[in-house]
Chain A
């Protein structure tokens, strides 16, 4: 059942490990998703992995209590958390009061359970321990928690497991690592250090397309250490292609494959940003109308650049459209560019505003017709041209049907409010390298995808190269990127090409945890 609230939708699955089946152990994982109850629409997702050692005779119960408690505590806190003024405060609240409350409630629930159902001799025998001295240990489990609100996602982790965040073509593991988690040893809700062992992170805009919370049985089932990138992109793309409901029906079988290969229980909470999926599913096939901004005539003051305002982005092929935010119109005439808008079947050609001063035209395409229109401040695309969003947020305008586009334009102050498309099966973009299957990475500062091609901007941002999306072969380029990359706002400084990693994690707590306490996974 898909759980939806506000911008988020989630499905879950949990499968008993093959090793546990052979040993007669239950599925010791638990996973749960709940909706917010207050005025702020949101979801809370929790995943717990009960420790597998003989000593942890009730870790399956501990896991169940863990997800119940974590979801309930976070759900109640959600409205208060949303009201916090900044990210630092938010992280400190997640790390402090929220974690403390979860751990405290979990302990209370465990002790209630022990009182209601005292340990049996059979359990003591199985545990090779008297158990009663520290009953919490028998219920030991890890915790992954995601608090999903309209404007941020709070992540909280005690022990092993993985939180994977997919944003555009970027896949990340934003929660700080804990290098003590080696060889099946893990921190745990059952340890006295549970609160100080917590690791938190807040993901803010641009929000992820997809979040994947998994117990360690999932990661450990993949041969490739880079499993996260493949699984993250594949899951996100599957959702975009088939919808979250369809993915949910297949999820148990996929997890069962992992549970069989790696032997451990495998659980997943799979969370999708609804508007990301919707834009992928409903974007029209090309061509789409580009809204033409009105007002904002050329000021004619000083030299400058063409500043694009509000344009809509059409991404053909995958049929994904995004809006690009409009900025002000500090327009002058360094670039006198004629571009056209395709609106439905009608193509009109417009000349963008030019300076009234004598700045020489620098365009490769002299204005044709009609003369400058003061009321038009947005770039208008020529026939065949489309505005394509790249992974770092930059927008390039070119004809994506041509492996080697005649020209590629970049406007300095165009800001994408949408996101780049996924690269598709076999492609990944990690650490400045575009990789197709097992080929060597191609250095790139940004990447995107259209119907036929995957596009890579060179590391210095100077040119664009195309690759066949199916075969991975380079088919065109490099084509020089033209554009007003300099002198934005009259400062004469090179304009910033947007950061190449828009999904850079915000500040995280690098404070090393104290004292490892091992409990066994």
Chain B
């Protein structure tokens, strides 16, 4: 009998969370439309990353936060099967609510023991309107929250970069900023593919993230937002 011992083999789940600010201010100057476009444009690149790392099963979920927070994509969805539905805007910037929605997903049974450290991309154009610090503490108390590949994109001059820096913590990555639609596409694409690639690496974030290279940073400097 030559049958391989043990049960079915499978790639390790890599959960990728897109946590998007959908507050009323995102409606201004086409920011939300640009964000939807940027994410949609990024998906094929994420498929490429997934294909390059067959040992990681890239599964996307998304949280929209405004007045409170809700799942925009609740079921972990394979990136090649993902159809991005437009996010809509309206309400406050309850980041704490988003983190409280996210944190429980980082433990069993939602997060498999064999899952790779998740990748989390936070996108915001403003200051939190709820008391987000306790929620951030709870999120970072989760072991998988602590080791997650955390990246953040601030949209426009009103984005609270300090808050976004607190979210990404002490990693060598800095908060990315986007001041026009082209930059947003580049940043979302880079952050998403980079986070996925790093998280596929089988090693914790703090030991592997490098800074954006010159080519990657090079974007149009026009200030729209």
Contacts and interface: CB of A to CB of B under 8 A. Distances in A.
Q: Mostly helix, strand, loop or mixed at chain B's interface? A: loop
A46 interface: no
Contacts of A225: 112-114
Interface stretch (A257-265, A288-296, A383-391): A257-265
Interface in B109-152: 112-114, 116-117, 143-144, 146-148
B10 to A, nearest CB: 4
Contact of A238 (B5, B11, B146, B207): B5
Interface residues of B, number: 36
A97 B113 CA distance: 33
B7 A53 contact: no
B5 A234 contact: yes
B53 interface: yes
A430 to B, nearest CB: 13
Interface in A37-64: 51-55
Given A182-B143, A183-B204, A184-B202, A18 B54 contact: yes
Contact of A185 (B4, B54, B147): B147
Contact of B147 (A17, A183, A264): A183
A224 B7 contact: yes
Contacts of B10: 221-223, 261
Nearest to A228: B6
A462 to B, nearest CB: 33
Contacts of A235: 5-6
Given A222-B114, A225-B113, A521-B202, 14 more contacts: A19-B201, A183-B148, A219-B114, A221-B12, A224-B7, A225-B114, A227-B6, A235-B5, A254-B5, A262-B12, A262-B114, A264-B55, A518-B204, A521-B204
Given A52-B201, A184-B117, A221-B9, A262 B210 contact: no
Contacts of B55: 17-19, 260-264
Which residue, of B1, B3, B8, B202, has the highest number of chain A Cβ atoms within 10 A?
B202
Given A52-B202, A238-B1, A222 B53 contact: no
A250 interface: yes
A480 B10 CA distance: 44
A263 B9 contact: no
B119 to A, nearest CB: 12
B86 interface: no
Interface of A: 17-19, 22-23, 51-55, 128, 180, 182-185, 219-227, 230-231, 234-235, 238, 241-242, 250, 253-254, 257-258, 260-264, 425, 518, 520-521
10 contacts: A19-B201, A185-B143, A222-B10, A222-B114, A223-B9, A223-B10, A225-B113, A261-B9, A262-B12, A263-B54
B56 A53 contact: no
A209 to B, nearest CB: 14
A212 B210 CA distance: 38
Given A184-B147, A234-B5, A241-B1, A19 B200 contact: yes
B147 to A, nearest CB: 4
A220 B2 CA distance: 22
A234 B8 CA distance: 13
Nearest to B117: A183
Contacts of B3: 234, 425
A262 B204 contact: no
B147 A182 contact: yes
B144 A53 contact: no
Given A52-B201, A53-B203, A128-B210, A262 B11 contact: yes
B201 A222 contact: no
A56 B1 CA distance: 40
Given A18-B55, A261-B10, A54 B204 contact: no
**In the A-B complex, the 4 residue pairs with the closest CB atoms:** A263-B55, A234-B5, A53-B207, A231-B6
A213 B64 CA distance: 45
Contacts of A227: 6-7
Contacts of B6: 222, 227, 230-231, 234-235, 254
A425 B1 CA distance: 11
B1 A242 contact: yes
A22 B204 contact: no
Contacts of B11: 261-263
A231 B9 CA distance: 11
